[in-house]
Chains A and B, each alone.
Chain A
Amino acid sequence: LASSSPSHRLEEVPLEVLRQRESKWLDMLNNWDKWMAKKHKKIRLRCQKGIPPSLRGRAWQYLSGSKVKLEQNMGKFDELDLLTGEPKWLDVIERDLHRQFPFHEMFVSRGGHGQQDLFRVLKAYTLYRPEEGYCQAQAPIAAVLLMHMPAEQAFWCLVQICEKYLPGYYSEKLEAIQLDGQILFSLLHKVSPVAYKHLSKQKIDPILYMTEWFMCAFSRTLPWSSVLRVWDMFFCEGVKIIFRVGLVLLKHTLGSSDKLKSCQGQYETMERLRALSPKIMQEAFLVQEV
């Protein structure tokens, strides 16, 4: 639909369409259980079209099940919030606070509200799952959540991501991410044999390009409007969205002999994967391909 017209941004959705979508989403959120039970396909379709910004935070909590989780654990976050936490985690978290989206108004000032809430959420997680503690890739995830909801809600949403959506991604040995790297690579074989062959030939381990993509759910990779659209779908459909986005990026970067002309060596290829073409990361193109 929008593929021929370049650089679509979220705010370019016509106002009437946006209002319509908002009322549809309000209806869904107000009758959530019914919709989930009977019209899941419709929810998925609406997530693909993009959740209206005004309702995004609420929708993510419904989709992820964090709303229910919070209701089942009333007071738990406040309880964790009052505890001190383990110094070894606090030290790393504190040093990371000013490094998350430093140009976002929420996180721009040291000790400001955004950074404080980020600290509370991440600290609470280390107390909630002491055996996992804090993994540095959790900070950008929590920061994106905090841009859309208060600290307590963001905490439970983070719990859902770490336990339901991306289990094992952030825990001690990071085995899950390494395994998913291998899976991504074998999927690439089907999706784009040319890209697969190229990466095999140059012996580029998936770990080299997909770790940050997957562990940060593309929040540091894609332009902002694309991040939000990908997350809308991710919360609805789960980790397969992350795989699909990864495959689209690989396919459109290395998927034809023409594209490979400038990727003669391992390092040219890596450079390409690090500085992806803005065209393929652009919201309308990416969402359509996924």
Chain B
Amino acid sequence: MTAVVDAPSGASPETAPEVGAVPTFDVTLRIRRYNPEVAGDEAYWEEFTVTAHGTDRVLDAMHKIKWELDGSLTFRRSCAHGICGSDAMRINGRNRLACKALLKDLNPDKPITIEPIKGLPVEKDLVVDMEPFFASYREIMPFLITSGNEPSKERLQSAEQRERYDDTTKCILCAACTSSCPVFWTDGQYFGPAAIVNAHRFIFDSRDEGGTQRLEILNDKEGVWRCRTTFNCTEACPRGIEVTKAIQEVKRAMITRAF
């Protein structure tokens, strides 16, 4: 919201103003609305035009709509800088976080289309039911598994061993990857990239002893073998995780184990 509201005149120097001179422009958002309580079971498109500043993100524009035009527009958001993973949505056909997509990078000359992420049941406007997503996550046992007595100090791990699984520790469970996967779209039975990424994080952690169990779980018919390496997930990940690579590494670990 910092960006959509101009500082009042006479602001003392300690209020933080805009960075440099930023031009304003009009942008149209074409949003897929759905509210069975009011508008029946059909989703429909609605367009809103708002004025935005150069550093505004899609989330700022959506807030402006919610706060100034239509309070019933519903979406999840929290931190607004790409760390909490609440606001994954389909923006111009690509899964992104609304708080990390700058309007000026999206060609504001054309309407920007905004839809809920695909493959999860839509509840209202851009809000989807996340439960199936988290159910898959829980199934891969996303926690450190060890045996024997707890050490009195920390477990040792070399910097290289730590680096081995660094990429997949970045996951924020926003579901951008899983809901960009064509295999997941079909029937929602596939574990999905996010669950596999989180399994990877532990399988390749030198301290963990549950790798075999996790590999067995992902050897399921709905597990890693359904991955078709379309790279949608890697492209969708707002944290820059090499998701497809992680999935391939899990496959390789299974083959090494089987032969």
A and B pair up: no
